[in-house]
Amino acid sequence: MPKLVDVEQERTAILDRCLELFARQGYGLVRMRELADAVGVSTGKLYHYFPDKRSIADALLAHVGLADVAEAQRRISPGASRRERLGLLGAFVCERRDRLGVTLLLALDHRRIEGGDTARDALRVYRAALTDQIGGDDEVLFSVLIGMIIRGVLDPDGVDIDRHLAWLEAQAGHPDGPL
């Protein structure tokens, strides 16, 4: 079924180019024409690969969520020490801050256009990956990361990344600590 592969590739290619538009403008303000222009195709082609606008937003959230998690798991070697894993996590989050912010915006939007389960599940996937990679009590750690990312979206210059990284490092020394 070589055709199916092509279809999937096309869909993925389209989603990749839609991401920024949805994140920057929000679902309600994105027009199909804009999407088509950004992707470089006709609106007709968009409708050939997705039944409607909402389906694009749906597929997009799943797409970016999975991609991010897979990338994180590739980066954080399971054999490393807790301290090392925390360091790798910090590096990953800092580096992909923009991308993660975009994903969060997507999820927040998604929760508003649909019931909310999909967006909730996406967040839980992230959380599960975090628990899986780092272990221990990551309740507050997760909030710190989410908070840092959101703050980065609203006020990029107002977040002191280094101090967050230092805090992360400090947590490694408290194995029984809040982390």
Partner DNA sequence: AATGAATGAGTCTTCATTCAT
Partner DNA sequence: TATGAATGAAGACTCATTCAT
> Interface residues with DNA (CB under 7 A)?
1-3, 5, 10, 30-33, 41-45, 47-49, 51-54
Angstrom CA distances, 175 to 21, 47, 129, 135, stand at 42, 52, 19, 11
What is the Cα–Cα distance from 6 to 82, expressed in whole angstroms?
41
Q: Residue 54 Cβ, how far from DNA at the closest point, in Å?
A: 7
For DNA, the closer CB: 53 or 97: 53
For DNA, the closer CB: 10 or 114: 10
For a copy of itself, the closer CB: 35 or 123: 123
> Among 83, 100, 118, 80, which Cα is nearest to 161's?
100
Q: Residue 60 Cβ, how far from DNA at the closest point, in Å?
A: 14
66 binds, among DNA, a copy of itself, none (CB under 5 to 8 A by kind): none
What is the Cα–Cα distance from 25 to 29, expressed in whole angstroms?
6
Q: Residue 52 Cβ, how far from DNA at the closest point, in Å?
A: 3
Q: Residue 30 Cβ, how far from a copy of itself at the closest point, in Å?
A: 8
What is the Cα–Cα distance from 79 to 152, expressed in whole angstroms?
31
What is the Cα–Cα distance from 162 to 96, expressed in whole angstroms?
15
